[in-house]
Homo-oligomer: A and B are copies of this chain.
Amino acid sequence: MYRSHSCGALNATHINTEVTLAGWVQKSRDKGFMIWVDLRDRYGITQLIFDEQRTDKAVFEKAKSLGREFVIQVKGTVIERESKNPNMATGDIEILVSELTVLNEAMLPPFTIEDETDGGEDIRMKYRYLDIRRNPVKNALLFRHKVAMEVRNYLSELDFCEIETPYLIKSTPEGARDFVVPSRMNQGQFYALPQSPQTFKQLLMVGGMDKYFQIVKCFRDEDLRADRQPEFTQIDCEMAFVEQEDILNVFEGLTRHLLKALKGIEVDQFPRMTYDYAMKTYGNDKPDIRFDMKFGELNAVAQHKDFAVFNSAELVVGIAAPGCASYTRKEIDALIDWVKRPQIGASGMVYVKCEADGTFKSSVDKFYDQDDLKKWADATNAKAGDLILILSGNANKTRAQLSALRMEVATRLGLRKPDEFAPLWVVDFPLLEWDEESGRYHAMHHPFTSPKPEDMKLIETDPGKVRANAYDMVLNGNEIGGGSIRIHDKELQSRMFSLLGFTPEQAEAQFGFLMNAFQFGAPPHGGLAFGLDRLVAILGGQETIRDFIAFPKNNSGRDVMIDAPSAIDEAQLAELHIQLNIAK
Protein backbone atom coordinates (compact mmCIF):
# COMPACT_ATOMS: atom_id res chain seq x y z
CA MET A 1 0.00 0.00 0.00
CA TYR A 2 1.38 3.37 -0.97
CA ARG A 3 -0.26 5.14 1.96
CA SER A 4 -1.16 4.71 5.59
CA HIS A 5 -3.96 7.27 5.49
CA SER A 6 -6.00 9.08 2.88
CA CYS A 7 -5.63 12.84 2.38
CA GLY A 8 -8.93 13.41 4.17
CA ALA A 9 -8.31 11.35 7.29
CA LEU A 10 -5.88 13.20 9.51
CA ASN A 11 -6.80 15.61 12.28
CA ALA A 12 -5.49 16.85 15.63
CA THR A 13 -5.82 13.38 17.18
CA HIS A 14 -3.04 12.20 14.87
CA ILE A 15 -0.45 14.76 15.93
CA ASN A 16 3.02 13.21 16.23
CA THR A 17 1.96 10.15 14.21
CA GLU A 18 4.26 8.99 11.41
CA VAL A 19 2.21 8.70 8.26
CA THR A 20 2.58 7.91 4.58
CA LEU A 21 0.36 9.74 2.12
CA ALA A 22 0.04 9.58 -1.64
CA GLY A 23 -1.84 11.76 -4.04
CA TRP A 24 -1.71 14.64 -6.47
CA VAL A 25 -0.08 18.03 -5.98
CA GLN A 26 -3.03 20.42 -5.93
CA LYS A 27 -0.78 23.44 -5.56
CA SER A 28 2.46 24.45 -3.93
CA ARG A 29 3.61 27.72 -2.41
CA ASP A 30 7.34 28.27 -2.31
CA LYS A 31 8.41 30.95 0.18
CA GLY A 32 12.11 30.17 -0.34
CA PHE A 33 12.81 28.82 3.11
CA MET A 34 9.49 27.04 3.37
CA ILE A 35 7.37 25.14 0.84
CA TRP A 36 3.76 24.23 1.38
CA VAL A 37 2.14 21.66 -0.84
CA ASP A 38 -1.57 20.80 -0.90
CA LEU A 39 -1.73 17.05 -1.48
CA ARG A 40 -5.06 15.83 -2.89
CA ASP A 41 -6.73 12.49 -3.27
CA ARG A 42 -10.34 11.36 -3.61
CA TYR A 43 -10.94 11.91 0.11
CA GLY A 44 -9.57 15.38 0.69
CA ILE A 45 -6.55 17.63 0.87
CA THR A 46 -3.72 17.54 3.40
CA GLN A 47 -1.13 20.28 3.68
CA LEU A 48 2.50 19.18 3.46
CA ILE A 49 5.29 21.33 4.74
CA PHE A 50 8.93 21.30 3.66
CA ASP A 51 11.11 23.49 5.83
CA GLU A 52 14.72 24.47 5.08
CA GLN A 53 15.47 24.08 8.79
CA ARG A 54 13.81 20.80 9.53
CA THR A 55 13.70 19.02 6.15
CA ASP A 56 16.55 17.04 4.64
CA LYS A 57 18.23 19.16 1.97
CA ALA A 58 17.75 16.69 -0.87
CA VAL A 59 14.08 16.31 -0.02
CA PHE A 60 13.69 20.09 0.20
CA GLU A 61 15.28 20.54 -3.22
CA LYS A 62 13.11 17.85 -4.72
CA ALA A 63 10.03 19.56 -3.30
CA LYS A 64 10.93 22.69 -5.26
CA SER A 65 10.55 20.77 -8.51
CA LEU A 66 7.01 19.58 -7.88
CA GLY A 67 4.51 20.73 -10.45
CA ARG A 68 0.74 20.76 -10.38
CA GLU A 69 -0.82 17.26 -10.61
CA PHE A 70 2.46 15.44 -9.98
CA VAL A 71 1.73 12.13 -8.27
CA ILE A 72 3.80 11.85 -5.13
CA GLN A 73 4.23 9.75 -2.02
CA VAL A 74 5.46 11.32 1.21
CA LYS A 75 6.41 10.10 4.62
CA GLY A 76 6.36 12.47 7.51
CA THR A 77 5.02 13.46 10.88
CA VAL A 78 1.62 14.97 11.61
CA ILE A 79 2.17 18.32 13.31
CA GLU A 80 -0.14 21.06 14.48
CA ARG A 81 -0.66 23.90 12.03
CA GLU A 82 0.26 27.39 13.11
CA SER A 83 -2.67 28.93 11.27
CA LYS A 84 -5.53 26.51 11.36
CA ASN A 85 -8.18 26.31 8.65
CA PRO A 86 -11.56 25.50 10.23
CA ASN A 87 -13.12 25.00 6.78
CA MET A 88 -11.01 21.92 6.05
CA ALA A 89 -11.40 18.51 7.68
CA THR A 90 -7.62 18.37 7.92
CA GLY A 91 -7.27 22.08 8.70
CA ASP A 92 -5.76 21.63 12.16
CA ILE A 93 -2.70 19.74 11.02
CA GLU A 94 0.01 19.54 8.40
CA ILE A 95 2.66 16.95 7.55
CA LEU A 96 6.32 17.74 8.12
CA VAL A 97 7.75 15.68 5.28
CA SER A 98 10.83 13.52 5.75
CA GLU A 99 10.72 11.48 2.53
CA LEU A 100 9.38 12.41 -0.89
CA THR A 101 8.95 10.08 -3.86
CA VAL A 102 7.67 11.29 -7.21
CA LEU A 103 5.50 8.41 -8.42
CA ASN A 104 4.71 10.07 -11.70
CA GLU A 105 5.30 13.48 -13.18
CA ALA A 106 2.52 15.40 -14.86
CA MET A 107 2.32 17.75 -17.76
CA LEU A 108 0.47 20.95 -17.01
CA PRO A 109 -3.25 20.07 -17.23
CA PRO A 110 -5.17 21.90 -19.98
CA PHE A 111 -7.56 23.36 -17.39
CA THR A 112 -7.43 23.98 -13.67
CA ILE A 113 -8.39 21.12 -11.38
CA GLU A 114 -10.60 23.33 -9.21
CA ASP A 115 -14.29 23.35 -8.30
CA GLU A 116 -14.71 26.32 -10.63
CA THR A 117 -12.51 25.40 -13.55
CA ASP A 118 -11.36 27.54 -16.45
CA GLY A 119 -12.00 24.65 -18.84
CA GLY A 120 -14.86 24.74 -21.32
CA GLU A 121 -17.16 21.78 -21.95
CA ASP A 122 -15.22 20.51 -24.99
CA ILE A 123 -11.80 20.40 -23.39
CA ARG A 124 -13.22 18.93 -20.20
CA MET A 125 -14.77 16.10 -22.21
CA LYS A 126 -11.59 15.41 -24.14
CA TYR A 127 -9.68 15.13 -20.87
CA ARG A 128 -12.51 13.68 -18.89
CA TYR A 129 -10.05 11.76 -16.65
CA LEU A 130 -8.77 15.14 -15.46
CA ASP A 131 -12.27 16.55 -15.14
CA ILE A 132 -13.15 13.64 -12.83
CA ARG A 133 -10.46 14.85 -10.44
CA ARG A 134 -12.58 17.95 -9.82
CA ASN A 135 -14.92 17.83 -6.83
CA PRO A 136 -18.17 18.57 -8.70
CA VAL A 137 -17.70 15.65 -11.09
CA LYS A 138 -16.15 13.32 -8.53
CA ASN A 139 -18.94 13.99 -6.06
CA ALA A 140 -21.58 13.50 -8.74
CA LEU A 141 -20.20 10.03 -9.49
CA LEU A 142 -20.00 9.11 -5.81
CA PHE A 143 -23.56 10.35 -5.36
CA ARG A 144 -24.75 8.28 -8.30
CA HIS A 145 -23.24 5.19 -6.72
CA LYS A 146 -25.00 5.97 -3.46
CA VAL A 147 -28.35 6.37 -5.20
CA ALA A 148 -27.91 3.07 -7.05
CA MET A 149 -26.98 1.26 -3.83
CA GLU A 150 -30.01 2.68 -2.03
CA VAL A 151 -32.27 1.60 -4.88
CA ARG A 152 -30.82 -1.90 -4.95
CA ASN A 153 -30.98 -2.44 -1.23
CA TYR A 154 -34.49 -1.02 -0.92
CA LEU A 155 -35.92 -3.17 -3.70
CA SER A 156 -33.95 -6.21 -2.63
CA GLU A 157 -35.43 -5.91 0.85
CA LEU A 158 -38.87 -6.03 -0.76
CA ASP A 159 -37.96 -9.34 -2.47
CA PHE A 160 -37.28 -7.79 -5.83
CA CYS A 161 -34.70 -9.81 -7.73
CA GLU A 162 -32.24 -8.08 -10.06
CA ILE A 163 -32.05 -10.13 -13.23
CA GLU A 164 -29.74 -9.34 -16.12
CA THR A 165 -31.49 -9.35 -19.47
CA PRO A 166 -29.55 -9.69 -22.72
CA TYR A 167 -27.92 -6.83 -24.60
CA LEU A 168 -27.79 -8.58 -27.95
CA ILE A 169 -31.44 -8.81 -28.88
CA LYS A 170 -33.66 -8.33 -31.90
CA SER A 171 -34.38 -5.17 -33.83
CA THR A 172 -37.97 -3.93 -33.51
CA PRO A 173 -38.41 -0.82 -35.63
CA GLU A 174 -41.45 0.33 -33.58
CA GLY A 175 -40.34 3.05 -31.20
CA ALA A 176 -37.04 4.84 -31.54
CA ARG A 177 -34.23 3.78 -33.86
CA ASP A 178 -32.21 0.76 -32.78
CA PHE A 179 -28.47 0.46 -32.69
CA VAL A 180 -27.69 -2.78 -34.49
CA VAL A 181 -24.80 -5.24 -34.35
CA PRO A 182 -23.92 -7.34 -37.39
CA SER A 183 -23.57 -11.04 -36.59
CA ARG A 184 -20.47 -12.78 -37.88
CA MET A 185 -21.80 -16.25 -37.19
CA ASN A 186 -25.25 -15.60 -38.65
CA GLN A 187 -24.54 -14.14 -42.06
CA GLY A 188 -26.69 -11.19 -43.09
CA GLN A 189 -28.34 -10.98 -39.68
CA PHE A 190 -28.14 -8.37 -36.95
CA TYR A 191 -28.63 -8.10 -33.24
CA ALA A 192 -30.06 -4.90 -31.81
CA LEU A 193 -29.09 -3.23 -28.57
CA PRO A 194 -32.12 -2.89 -26.28
CA GLN A 195 -34.04 0.38 -26.08
CA SER A 196 -35.32 -1.13 -22.85
CA PRO A 197 -35.65 -4.66 -21.48
CA GLN A 198 -39.44 -4.35 -21.91
CA THR A 199 -40.27 -7.67 -23.51
CA PHE A 200 -37.77 -9.58 -21.39
CA LYS A 201 -39.16 -8.26 -18.16
CA GLN A 202 -42.63 -9.23 -19.30
CA LEU A 203 -41.34 -12.72 -20.08
CA LEU A 204 -39.86 -12.86 -16.59
CA MET A 205 -43.36 -12.19 -15.27
CA VAL A 206 -44.66 -15.04 -17.43
CA GLY A 207 -41.78 -17.01 -15.90
CA GLY A 208 -43.06 -16.33 -12.40
CA MET A 209 -40.29 -14.00 -11.19
CA ASP A 210 -42.95 -11.71 -9.84
CA LYS A 211 -40.76 -8.85 -8.62
CA TYR A 212 -38.01 -7.93 -11.02
CA PHE A 213 -35.70 -4.97 -11.24
CA GLN A 214 -32.52 -4.11 -13.04
CA ILE A 215 -30.28 -1.09 -13.24
CA VAL A 216 -29.43 -1.40 -16.88
CA LYS A 217 -27.99 0.43 -19.87
CA CYS A 218 -30.38 1.12 -22.71
CA PHE A 219 -29.69 2.47 -26.18
CA ARG A 220 -31.46 4.77 -28.61
CA ASP A 221 -30.03 5.91 -31.89
CA GLU A 222 -31.82 9.26 -31.95
CA ASP A 223 -30.66 12.65 -33.05
CA LEU A 224 -29.40 13.95 -29.78
CA ARG A 225 -31.14 16.86 -28.25
CA ALA A 226 -29.28 18.69 -25.53
CA ASP A 227 -28.84 16.50 -22.49
CA ARG A 228 -29.75 13.23 -24.18
CA GLN A 229 -27.30 10.37 -24.50
CA PRO A 230 -27.33 7.47 -26.98
CA GLU A 231 -26.72 5.15 -24.04
CA PHE A 232 -28.53 5.82 -20.81
CA THR A 233 -29.35 3.96 -17.63
CA GLN A 234 -32.73 2.84 -16.38
CA ILE A 235 -33.98 1.48 -13.11
CA ASP A 236 -36.23 -1.03 -14.78
CA CYS A 237 -38.95 -2.71 -12.70
CA GLU A 238 -41.83 -5.10 -13.16
CA MET A 239 -44.29 -6.88 -10.86
CA ALA A 240 -46.89 -9.59 -11.37
CA PHE A 241 -50.29 -10.02 -9.71
CA VAL A 242 -50.55 -6.29 -9.16
CA GLU A 243 -52.79 -3.44 -10.12
CA GLN A 244 -51.77 0.12 -10.87
CA GLU A 245 -52.30 1.13 -7.26
CA ASP A 246 -49.78 -1.45 -6.03
CA ILE A 247 -47.12 -0.25 -8.40
CA LEU A 248 -47.64 3.38 -7.49
CA ASN A 249 -47.33 2.48 -3.81
CA VAL A 250 -44.12 0.48 -4.17
CA PHE A 251 -42.28 3.04 -6.25
CA GLU A 252 -43.60 6.00 -4.33
CA GLY A 253 -42.12 4.20 -1.32
CA LEU A 254 -38.80 3.85 -3.11
CA THR A 255 -38.72 7.51 -4.08
CA ARG A 256 -39.72 8.61 -0.60
CA HIS A 257 -36.90 6.45 0.75
CA LEU A 258 -34.38 8.03 -1.62
CA LEU A 259 -35.44 11.54 -0.64
CA LYS A 260 -35.08 10.66 3.03
CA ALA A 261 -31.84 8.68 2.78
CA LEU A 262 -30.04 10.99 0.39
CA LYS A 263 -31.49 14.41 1.08
CA GLY A 264 -32.91 14.04 4.57
CA ILE A 265 -36.29 15.16 3.29
CA GLU A 266 -39.58 13.64 4.44
CA VAL A 267 -42.30 13.76 1.81
CA ASP A 268 -45.96 12.98 2.42
CA GLN A 269 -48.04 10.94 0.06
CA PHE A 270 -47.38 12.11 -3.49
CA PRO A 271 -50.16 14.12 -5.13
CA ARG A 272 -51.77 12.48 -8.14
CA MET A 273 -53.30 14.23 -11.08
CA THR A 274 -54.71 13.01 -14.33
CA TYR A 275 -53.00 13.69 -17.61
CA ASP A 276 -55.97 15.84 -18.64
CA TYR A 277 -55.76 17.91 -15.48
CA ALA A 278 -52.01 18.37 -15.83
CA MET A 279 -52.34 19.51 -19.44
CA LYS A 280 -55.10 21.97 -18.61
CA THR A 281 -53.55 23.28 -15.42
CA TYR A 282 -49.85 23.34 -16.25
CA GLY A 283 -49.80 22.96 -20.03
CA ASN A 284 -47.69 19.79 -19.88
CA ASP A 285 -47.63 16.30 -18.44
CA LYS A 286 -44.67 16.84 -16.13
CA PRO A 287 -45.58 19.91 -14.13
CA ASP A 288 -43.17 21.49 -11.71
CA ILE A 289 -45.36 21.94 -8.63
CA ARG A 290 -42.71 23.47 -6.40
CA PHE A 291 -44.54 26.71 -7.20
CA ASP A 292 -48.08 27.63 -8.12
CA MET A 293 -49.00 29.74 -11.17
CA LYS A 294 -51.74 27.36 -12.27
CA PHE A 295 -53.32 28.12 -15.62
CA GLY A 296 -56.53 30.15 -15.60
CA GLU A 297 -58.65 29.68 -18.73
CA LEU A 298 -60.13 32.99 -19.78
CA ASN A 299 -62.29 32.24 -22.83
CA ALA A 300 -65.53 32.88 -20.91
CA VAL A 301 -64.33 36.19 -19.51
CA ALA A 302 -62.25 37.49 -22.41
CA GLN A 303 -64.17 36.70 -25.58
CA HIS A 304 -67.13 39.07 -25.08
CA LYS A 305 -65.45 42.30 -26.17
CA ASP A 306 -63.94 43.62 -29.40
CA PHE A 307 -60.44 42.27 -28.94
CA ALA A 308 -60.13 40.24 -32.12
CA VAL A 309 -56.96 38.44 -31.05
CA PHE A 310 -58.78 36.81 -28.17
CA ASN A 311 -62.09 36.38 -29.95
CA SER A 312 -60.50 34.38 -32.75
CA ALA A 313 -58.44 32.23 -30.38
CA GLU A 314 -59.30 28.65 -29.53
CA LEU A 315 -57.91 29.26 -26.06
CA VAL A 316 -57.14 32.33 -23.96
CA VAL A 317 -55.17 31.34 -20.91
CA GLY A 318 -53.11 33.09 -18.25
CA ILE A 319 -50.95 32.69 -15.20
CA ALA A 320 -50.36 35.03 -12.29
CA ALA A 321 -46.67 35.72 -11.78
CA PRO A 322 -46.42 36.34 -8.05
CA GLY A 323 -45.27 39.79 -6.96
CA CYS A 324 -44.45 40.89 -10.49
CA ALA A 325 -46.91 43.79 -10.74
CA SER A 326 -43.94 46.05 -10.15
CA TYR A 327 -42.23 44.87 -13.35
CA THR A 328 -41.05 47.76 -15.48
CA ARG A 329 -42.09 48.14 -19.06
CA LYS A 330 -38.62 46.90 -19.95
CA GLU A 331 -38.93 43.76 -17.88
CA ILE A 332 -42.31 43.01 -19.39
CA ASP A 333 -40.99 43.61 -22.90
CA ALA A 334 -38.22 41.16 -22.16
CA LEU A 335 -40.83 38.53 -21.33
CA ILE A 336 -42.76 39.36 -24.49
CA ASP A 337 -39.58 39.00 -26.54
CA TRP A 338 -38.92 35.72 -24.77
CA VAL A 339 -42.28 34.18 -25.72
CA LYS A 340 -41.90 35.43 -29.29
CA ARG A 341 -38.60 33.58 -29.77
CA PRO A 342 -38.93 30.89 -32.43
CA GLN A 343 -38.35 28.14 -29.84
CA ILE A 344 -41.55 29.30 -28.07
CA GLY A 345 -43.40 30.82 -31.00
CA ALA A 346 -46.10 32.97 -29.38
CA SER A 347 -47.25 35.88 -31.46
CA GLY A 348 -47.67 38.18 -28.50
CA MET A 349 -48.53 38.40 -24.82
CA VAL A 350 -51.16 40.35 -22.93
CA TYR A 351 -50.49 41.36 -19.33
CA VAL A 352 -52.46 42.69 -16.39
CA LYS A 353 -50.83 44.35 -13.39
CA CYS A 354 -52.79 43.69 -10.19
CA GLU A 355 -52.03 46.82 -8.24
CA ALA A 356 -51.76 46.92 -4.46
CA ASP A 357 -54.90 49.09 -4.27
CA GLY A 358 -57.03 46.43 -5.98
CA THR A 359 -57.09 48.12 -9.38
CA PHE A 360 -55.79 46.62 -12.59
CA LYS A 361 -53.61 48.02 -15.35
CA SER A 362 -53.40 45.99 -18.52
CA SER A 363 -52.02 46.11 -22.03
CA VAL A 364 -55.60 45.74 -23.31
CA ASP A 365 -57.26 48.46 -21.22
CA LYS A 366 -58.93 49.83 -24.30
CA PHE A 367 -60.97 46.62 -24.69
CA TYR A 368 -61.55 45.54 -21.12
CA ASP A 369 -62.77 47.32 -18.01
CA GLN A 370 -61.87 46.76 -14.36
CA ASP A 371 -64.71 44.27 -13.90
CA ASP A 372 -63.42 42.19 -16.77
CA LEU A 373 -59.89 42.25 -15.39
CA LYS A 374 -61.14 41.34 -11.94
CA LYS A 375 -62.63 38.20 -13.44
CA TRP A 376 -59.31 37.40 -15.08
CA ALA A 377 -57.58 37.81 -11.74
CA ASP A 378 -60.08 35.46 -10.15
CA ALA A 379 -59.62 32.87 -12.89
CA THR A 380 -55.82 32.93 -12.60
CA ASN A 381 -55.92 33.21 -8.82
CA ALA A 382 -53.97 36.46 -9.00
CA LYS A 383 -53.45 38.48 -5.81
CA ALA A 384 -52.70 42.15 -5.42
CA GLY A 385 -49.11 42.63 -6.52
CA ASP A 386 -49.18 39.85 -9.12
CA LEU A 387 -48.73 40.18 -12.84
CA ILE A 388 -51.09 38.20 -15.06
CA LEU A 389 -49.50 36.94 -18.28
CA ILE A 390 -51.91 35.85 -20.99
CA LEU A 391 -51.37 33.94 -24.22
CA SER A 392 -53.93 32.90 -26.80
CA GLY A 393 -54.34 30.88 -29.98
CA ASN A 394 -54.51 27.19 -30.83
CA ALA A 395 -55.23 25.37 -27.56
CA ASN A 396 -52.40 22.84 -27.59
CA LYS A 397 -49.78 25.25 -28.81
CA THR A 398 -50.84 27.98 -26.42
CA ARG A 399 -50.70 25.63 -23.46
CA ALA A 400 -47.19 24.56 -24.44
CA GLN A 401 -46.13 28.19 -24.79
CA LEU A 402 -47.63 29.22 -21.48
CA SER A 403 -46.05 26.19 -19.82
CA ALA A 404 -42.65 27.30 -21.07
CA LEU A 405 -43.34 30.85 -19.91
CA ARG A 406 -44.41 29.58 -16.50
CA MET A 407 -41.10 27.76 -16.09
CA GLU A 408 -39.15 30.77 -17.33
CA VAL A 409 -40.88 33.11 -14.91
CA ALA A 410 -40.29 30.64 -12.08
CA THR A 411 -36.63 30.48 -12.96
CA ARG A 412 -36.38 34.28 -13.03
CA LEU A 413 -38.13 34.47 -9.67
CA GLY A 414 -35.90 31.78 -8.14
CA LEU A 415 -38.86 29.49 -7.53
CA ARG A 416 -37.15 26.41 -8.96
CA LYS A 417 -35.15 25.70 -5.83
CA PRO A 418 -32.73 22.80 -6.28
CA ASP A 419 -33.02 21.80 -2.63
CA GLU A 420 -36.80 21.56 -2.72
CA PHE A 421 -38.45 18.39 -4.01
CA ALA A 422 -42.04 18.14 -5.19
CA PRO A 423 -42.82 14.70 -6.59
CA LEU A 424 -46.18 13.72 -8.02
CA TRP A 425 -47.87 11.08 -10.14
CA VAL A 426 -49.54 11.88 -13.43
CA VAL A 427 -52.05 9.12 -14.25
CA ASP A 428 -54.65 8.20 -16.89
CA PHE A 429 -52.51 8.90 -19.92
CA PRO A 430 -54.18 8.42 -23.29
CA LEU A 431 -53.46 4.99 -24.78
CA LEU A 432 -52.79 6.36 -28.25
CA GLU A 433 -51.73 9.55 -29.89
CA TRP A 434 -52.43 10.48 -33.46
CA ASP A 435 -49.40 10.98 -35.63
CA GLU A 436 -50.09 13.42 -38.47
CA GLU A 437 -47.06 12.41 -40.44
CA SER A 438 -47.77 8.69 -40.68
CA GLY A 439 -51.54 9.18 -40.55
CA ARG A 440 -52.00 6.58 -37.86
CA TYR A 441 -52.08 6.12 -34.12
CA HIS A 442 -48.91 5.59 -32.15
CA ALA A 443 -48.72 4.06 -28.69
CA MET A 444 -48.28 6.93 -26.26
CA HIS A 445 -46.36 4.74 -23.80
CA HIS A 446 -45.63 1.56 -25.76
CA PRO A 447 -47.62 -1.15 -27.57
CA PHE A 448 -47.73 -3.37 -24.48
CA THR A 449 -49.72 -0.92 -22.37
CA SER A 450 -53.15 -1.99 -21.23
CA PRO A 451 -56.21 0.16 -21.99
CA LYS A 452 -58.46 0.96 -19.05
CA PRO A 453 -61.18 -1.72 -19.05
CA GLU A 454 -63.91 0.91 -18.73
CA ASP A 455 -62.66 2.64 -21.90
CA MET A 456 -62.44 -0.55 -23.98
CA LYS A 457 -65.82 0.22 -25.53
CA LEU A 458 -64.26 3.22 -27.32
CA ILE A 459 -61.40 1.30 -28.84
CA GLU A 460 -62.94 0.84 -32.28
CA THR A 461 -65.14 3.95 -32.36
CA ASP A 462 -62.92 6.61 -30.80
CA PRO A 463 -59.49 5.14 -30.06
CA GLY A 464 -57.97 8.55 -29.29
CA LYS A 465 -60.25 8.81 -26.26
CA VAL A 466 -59.19 5.53 -24.69
CA ARG A 467 -57.21 6.02 -21.51
CA ALA A 468 -54.41 3.68 -20.50
CA ASN A 469 -53.37 2.25 -17.17
CA ALA A 470 -50.24 4.32 -17.58
CA TYR A 471 -48.53 6.65 -15.15
CA ASP A 472 -45.51 8.90 -14.84
CA MET A 473 -43.65 9.98 -11.78
CA VAL A 474 -42.71 13.64 -12.05
CA LEU A 475 -40.15 15.42 -9.93
CA ASN A 476 -39.51 19.14 -10.14
CA GLY A 477 -40.75 19.43 -13.70
CA ASN A 478 -39.02 16.32 -14.97
CA GLU A 479 -40.47 12.96 -15.84
CA ILE A 480 -38.23 10.68 -13.81
CA GLY A 481 -40.17 7.50 -14.28
CA GLY A 482 -43.05 6.04 -16.17
CA GLY A 483 -44.82 2.80 -16.68
CA SER A 484 -48.05 0.97 -17.16
CA ILE A 485 -50.11 -2.08 -16.50
CA ARG A 486 -49.37 -4.39 -19.44
CA ILE A 487 -51.56 -6.42 -21.67
CA HIS A 488 -51.26 -10.09 -20.70
CA ASP A 489 -53.72 -11.54 -23.16
CA LYS A 490 -52.82 -12.62 -26.67
CA GLU A 491 -56.05 -11.44 -28.29
CA LEU A 492 -55.87 -7.94 -26.85
CA GLN A 493 -52.19 -7.67 -27.73
CA SER A 494 -52.91 -8.63 -31.35
CA ARG A 495 -55.70 -6.10 -31.50
CA MET A 496 -53.35 -3.43 -30.19
CA PHE A 497 -50.72 -4.22 -32.82
CA SER A 498 -53.39 -3.99 -35.47
CA LEU A 499 -54.57 -0.60 -34.12
CA LEU A 500 -50.95 0.54 -34.40
CA GLY A 501 -50.82 -0.42 -38.06
CA PHE A 502 -48.99 -3.74 -37.81
CA THR A 503 -50.06 -6.45 -40.22
CA PRO A 504 -50.57 -9.80 -38.45
CA GLU A 505 -47.39 -11.00 -40.17
CA GLN A 506 -45.34 -8.06 -38.89
CA ALA A 507 -46.72 -8.49 -35.40
CA GLU A 508 -45.87 -12.19 -35.48
CA ALA A 509 -42.36 -11.65 -36.88
CA GLN A 510 -41.45 -9.04 -34.31
CA PHE A 511 -43.37 -9.98 -31.22
CA GLY A 512 -44.59 -13.50 -31.88
CA PHE A 513 -42.46 -14.81 -29.01
CA LEU A 514 -44.26 -12.52 -26.57
CA MET A 515 -47.76 -13.33 -27.80
CA ASN A 516 -46.89 -17.03 -27.72
CA ALA A 517 -45.71 -16.65 -24.16
CA PHE A 518 -49.05 -15.08 -23.24
CA GLN A 519 -50.71 -18.38 -24.18
CA PHE A 520 -48.81 -20.34 -21.57
CA GLY A 521 -50.22 -18.72 -18.47
CA ALA A 522 -49.25 -15.05 -18.30
CA PRO A 523 -50.18 -13.37 -15.02
CA PRO A 524 -51.51 -9.82 -14.82
CA HIS A 525 -48.47 -7.58 -14.55
CA GLY A 526 -47.13 -4.08 -14.85
CA GLY A 527 -44.14 -1.99 -14.02
CA LEU A 528 -42.21 1.12 -14.62
CA ALA A 529 -38.76 2.44 -15.36
CA PHE A 530 -36.92 5.37 -13.87
CA GLY A 531 -34.29 7.26 -15.81
CA LEU A 532 -31.34 6.94 -13.48
CA ASP A 533 -29.24 9.64 -15.10
CA ARG A 534 -31.92 12.27 -14.63
CA LEU A 535 -33.10 11.01 -11.24
CA VAL A 536 -29.56 11.30 -9.91
CA ALA A 537 -29.06 14.72 -11.46
CA ILE A 538 -32.27 16.09 -9.95
CA LEU A 539 -31.59 14.58 -6.55
CA GLY A 540 -28.15 16.13 -6.86
CA GLY A 541 -29.78 19.51 -7.44
CA GLN A 542 -28.71 19.79 -11.07
CA GLU A 543 -30.68 20.13 -14.29
CA THR A 544 -28.12 18.54 -16.63
CA ILE A 545 -27.16 14.90 -16.54
CA ARG A 546 -23.71 15.08 -18.10
CA ASP A 547 -21.68 15.41 -14.94
CA PHE A 548 -23.45 12.43 -13.43
CA ILE A 549 -22.15 10.18 -16.23
CA ALA A 550 -18.49 9.22 -16.03
CA PHE A 551 -17.80 9.21 -19.77
CA PRO A 552 -20.65 10.92 -21.64
CA LYS A 553 -20.90 11.38 -25.38
CA ASN A 554 -21.30 14.70 -27.11
CA ASN A 555 -24.28 15.80 -29.22
CA SER A 556 -22.96 13.95 -32.25
CA GLY A 557 -22.81 10.76 -30.25
CA ARG A 558 -19.02 10.90 -30.13
CA ASP A 559 -16.75 10.05 -27.25
CA VAL A 560 -14.18 12.76 -27.87
CA MET A 561 -11.79 11.34 -25.28
CA ILE A 562 -11.25 7.95 -26.94
CA ASP A 563 -12.30 9.26 -30.37
CA ALA A 564 -15.14 6.83 -30.99
CA PRO A 565 -16.82 5.84 -33.20
CA SER A 566 -13.99 5.27 -35.68
CA ALA A 567 -13.25 3.44 -38.91
CA ILE A 568 -12.68 -0.30 -38.78
CA ASP A 569 -10.63 -2.26 -41.26
CA GLU A 570 -11.79 -4.10 -44.36
CA ALA A 571 -11.05 -7.52 -42.91
CA GLN A 572 -13.33 -6.83 -39.97
CA LEU A 573 -16.12 -5.69 -42.32
CA ALA A 574 -15.70 -8.75 -44.52
CA GLU A 575 -15.94 -11.09 -41.54
CA LEU A 576 -19.20 -9.41 -40.61
CA HIS A 577 -20.57 -9.82 -44.15
CA ILE A 578 -21.09 -6.09 -44.64
CA GLN A 579 -19.49 -3.31 -46.61
CA LEU A 580 -19.68 0.44 -46.44
CA ASN A 581 -22.29 2.28 -48.43
CA ILE A 582 -21.17 5.88 -48.19
CA ALA A 583 -23.21 8.63 -49.78
CA LYS A 584 -20.98 10.57 -52.14
Contacts and interface: CB of A to CB of B under 8 A. Distances in A.
Contact of A558 (B22, B186, B517): B186
Interface stretch (A77-85, A173-181, A274-282): A173-181
Contacts of A69: 520-521
Residue among A173, A219, A513, A519 having the largest count of chain B Cβ atoms under 10 Å: A513
B145 A568 contact: no
B2 A241 contact: yes
Contact of A191 (B73, B104, B206, B564): B564
Majority secondary structure, A binding face: loop
A106 B519 contact: yes
A199 interface: yes
Nearest to A168: B231
B180 A576 contact: yes
A581 B572 contact: no
A531 interface: no
A308 interface: no
B186 A132 contact: no
Nearest to A24: B521
A99 interface: no
A187 B132 contact: no
B132 A209 contact: yes
Contact of A572 (B1, B169, B180): B180
Given A149-B156, A164-B233, A577 B582 contact: yes
B231 A556 contact: no
Contact of A553 (B41, B166, B550): B166
B565 A170 contact: yes
A173 B569 contact: yes
For this complex, into which size category does the number of interface residues on chain A fall? Answer: 35 or more
Nearest to A191: B565
Interface in A191-239: 191-193, 199-200, 203-204, 206-210, 217, 219, 221, 223, 230-231, 233
Given A156-B145, A557-B185, A170 B230 contact: no
A167 interface: yes
Interface string A564-584: 111111001111111111110
Nearest to A210: B42
A521 B105 CA distance: 6
A549 interface: yes
Contacts of A561: 203, 513
A578 B170 CA distance: 18
A109 B156 CA distance: 31
Given A210-B41, A577-B581, A204 B565 contact: no
A58 interface: no
Contact of A132 (B208, B217, B230): B208
A165 interface: yes
A270 interface: no
Interface stretch (A122-130, A356-364, A396-404): A122-130
Q: How many subunits of this chain does the assembly comprise? A: 2
A128 to B, nearest CB: 7
B129 A207 contact: yes
Contact of A550 (B165, B167, B568): B165
B577 A578 contact: no
Contacts of A11: none
Nearest to A166: B551
Contact of A567 (B22, B173, B188, B575): B188
Interface string A233-251: 1000000011100100000
A217 B142 CA distance: 21
Nearest to A514: B562
B104 A522 contact: yes
A246 B2 CA distance: 10
A463 interface: no
A272 interface: no
Interface string A522-558: 1110000000000000000000000001110100111
A2 B243 contact: yes
A243 B1 contact: yes
B209 A138 contact: yes
Nearest to A518: B104
Contacts of A142: 161
A355 interface: no
A175 B186 CA distance: 22
Contact of A24 (B24, B199, B208): B208
A292 interface: no
Interface string A97-132: 000000111110100000000000000000111111
Given A2-B241, A148-B162, A185-B221, 13 more contacts: A40-B208, A103-B524, A145-B162, A163-B550, A169-B564, A170-B563, A170-B566, A180-B572, A184-B221, A189-B567, A190-B568, A191-B564, A577-B583
12 contacts: A2-B242, A42-B208, A103-B524, A127-B520, A131-B207, A132-B204, A166-B551, A167-B231, A168-B553, A168-B557, A170-B559, A577-B580
